[in-house]
Amino acid sequence: MNWTDPTCPVARTLDLVGDRWSLLIVRDAMDGARAFTDFQQRTGIARNILADRLRRLVERGILDRQTASSGRRQVYTLTQTGRDLFAVVVALRQWGERHAFESGEAHSVLVDSSGLPVAEMRPTNAHGVELDLDGTSVRKVY
In a domain, 55, yes or no: yes
Question: Considering its fold, how many domains does the chain have in total?
Answer: 1
In a domain, 118, yes or no: no
What's the average model confidence in pLDDT over 10-16? 93
Supply the range of the domain harboring residue 56: 7-98
The tens digit of pLDDT for each residue in 34-43 reads 999 999 999 9
What's the average model confidence in pLDDT over 33-62? 97
pLDDT at residue 6 greater than cutoff 90: no
**Cα–Cα distance measured from residue 98 to residue 103, given in angstroms and rounded to the nearest whole number:** 9
The tens digit of pLDDT for each residue in 109-142 reads 999 999 999 999 999 999 999 999 999 999 988 7
In a domain, 59, yes or no: yes
In a domain, 105, yes or no: no
